[in-house]
Amino acid sequence: MRRPSDIRAPKHEKTDIVKTSHMNNARCRRPQLASTEIKLAELRGRLAEISDLSAASALLSWDQATYMPKCGATARARQGAIISRLTHEKSVAPELGKLLEELEPYAAGLPYDSNEASLLRVARRDFEKAIKVPSDYVARVSAFGATAYDAWKQARPVNDFATMVPFLERAIDLGREYAEFFAPYEHIADHLIDDADEGMTTASIRTLFAELRSELVPIVRAICDQPQADDGCLRLFFGEPAQLGFGLSVVKRIGYDFDRGRLDKTLQPFCTRLSAGDVRITTRVYDSDVRHALFSTLHEAGHALYEQGVHPALEGTPLGRGASVGVHESQSRLWENVVGRGRSFWQHFYPLLQCAFPDQLSKVPPETFYRAINRAERSLVRTDADEVTYNLHIMMRFGLELQLLEGRLRAKDLAEAWRTGMQAYLGIVPPDDRDGCLQDVHWYAGSLGGGFQSYAIGNILSAQFYAAAVKAHPDIPSEIAVGEFSTLHAWLREHLYQHGRKFKPHELVERTTGGPMSTKPYLAYLRAKYGELYQSPGGLRPLPQ
């Protein structure tokens, strides 16, 4: 395996540098500084190439999910694979490792939180990770992912788990193969988790989830045993253009910049960054339910506000995007749930929504609407789950994927284990695999151990960041009630967004909230909101399980 320390500068290095045109200016009077500046410029050039190639990949994916005609898929998989391979080749170039190593003494003299020290630190960490993974593996994963996605798209609607078993087996093998690149490890999933949420491990997430589950289960029980709010007012016919228009006006209002982004339709909503000036969101519209497009648009706009808020100086570097999957998810959840499903938010927006859909909503009182969009219940499908039960879906998946990776659960036994898990975590059992173990593509397409936990981390952090913002600016809720989001947005940009990937997630949480990640603000948020909604004025209290 090639490591940076194995890469030595060739003997003629100094001669080479003197030859470069960069030396034809005043800087040549201070060779040491000039040499560092030249190296930094070369490093930035190499990192920008990697960033630009990644953007090309992102565009290939965005286009596939929005406008690509159906017969374009085969070639698109090939196009994506070659760009991925080239990106990886650029990411492990020995010249890049050499530059990073040579700049190490310079980085050591800079303040930890300076842009340059952060750039050198993060770029080096990325490089050391990347060189452990062969390009061949990256190409195989890319090709497998495209094929498996296609197979899953066909298998899920017809409830065909058997067809997906070999794909799952292959995905497990790929996950294990990946873990071995980073051996030795404490747990086989540790490096997969670290890729998504740097600094977290199997053990730390197990602890976090055990604590969260013990508090959540009684809350879910207290809520789901009560009569449910009627959401009939949301289940009428809502025309697509009006839904899209309303969603667009909402995300514009919260601060999403359409000069640097756009909103399109897709099957599975997502947000993608093509550059600092081009951060796009997508949504899916159901004309028989007004919730879906609205909250998925808000969710993706949360991701987009984060990406649009990264400091321009970090553009084209590995720092020029969100800190981790979990921190990213905290922003989609903050805007979608903590803000977007809040009472204050609808004080401003409900009259506007009524204007957009007078036939459907003019006679529906605000309170009915508010209770309908916050209806909580045990359900089968994660993406439809409310904010209370959502985490139980995640925890169940996390347990299962660890067992799959550990070899304690065989691929073919997943469907049965899923039913058992649903019974244990949510108290209901799916009638088929379509709404059971086939509902998410993640595992089949090769993302084993690298994703679901981030959604729960995002939920936890969404409340923690929001609480910190409100602590700093107690007027935020009353501003939201009049459609004013700039204080909240500015606080998040200053404390979170602008830093991009400069800090590790735990550093960022410390800097932003003054303490480590904690489930307390999240549980307090749920208890206050659902305690009030479910006629329990003091908030729900944990009950013995």
Which positions are annotated as active-site residues?
Answer: 300
Does position 267 interact with a copy of itself (CB under 8 A)? The reply is: no
Q: Which of 17, 56, 117, 481 binds a copy of itself (CB under 8 A)?
A: 56
Helix (H) or strand (E) holding 316: none
Does position 67 interact with a copy of itself (CB under 8 A)? The reply is: yes
Contact window for a copy of itself (CB under 8 A) among 67-75, 127-135, 194-202, 434-442: 67-75
- State which residue, 247 or 421, has the beta carbon closest to a copy of itself: 247
d(Cα 434, Cα 381) in Å, to the nearest integer? 10
Scanning residues 247 to 266, which ones bind a copy of itself (CB under 8 A)?
258-262, 264
Does position 139 interact with a copy of itself (CB under 8 A)? The reply is: no
Q: Which of 53, 356, 392, 448 binds a copy of itself (CB under 8 A)?
A: 53
Q: At what angle do helices 135-155 and 73-91 cross, to 10 degrees?
A: 150
Q: Which of 275, 347, 368, 403 binds a copy of itself (CB under 8 A)?
A: 275
Does position 69 interact with a copy of itself (CB under 8 A)? The reply is: yes
- State which residue, 46 or 527, has the beta carbon closest to a copy of itself: 46
Distance of CA 430 to the CA centre of its chain: 27
Does position 112 interact with a copy of itself (CB under 8 A)? The reply is: no
Look up residue 480 and give its two tokens. Answer: 């939201």
Give Cβ neighbours of residue 251 (< 8 Å, ≥ 6 apart): 263, 281, 297, 298, 301, 304
Taking the complex as a whole, the smallest distance from the CB of residue 358 to a copy of itself amounts, in Å, to 24
Scanning residues 455 to 474, which ones bind a copy of itself (CB under 8 A)?
none
Taking the complex as a whole, the smallest distance from the CB of residue 55 to a copy of itself amounts, in Å, to 5
HSE-up of 414 (CA within 13 Å, CB side)?
Answer: 32
d(Cα 529, Cα 174) in Å, to the nearest integer? 42
Q: Among candidates 78, 9, 92, 80, which has minimal Cα distance to 49?
A: 92
Does position 237 interact with a copy of itself (CB under 8 A)? The reply is: no
Does position 177 interact with a copy of itself (CB under 8 A)? The reply is: no
d(Cα 489, Cα 259) in Å, to the nearest integer? 18
Q: DSSP letters along 178-232, please?
A: HHHHT-S-SSTTHHHHHHHSTT--HHHHHHHHHHHHHHHHHHHHHHHTSPPPP-G
Contact window for a copy of itself (CB under 8 A) among 77-85, 333-341, 395-403, 414-422: 77-85
Most distant CA pair in the chain: distance in Å? 81
d(Cα 487, Cα 329) in Å, to the nearest integer? 21
- State which residue, 308 or 324, has the beta carbon closest to a copy of itself: 308
Query: Would you tell me which residues interact with a copy of itself (CB under 8 A)?
Result: 48-49, 52-53, 55-56, 59-60, 63, 67-76, 78-79, 82-83, 86, 258-262, 264, 274-278, 280, 315-316
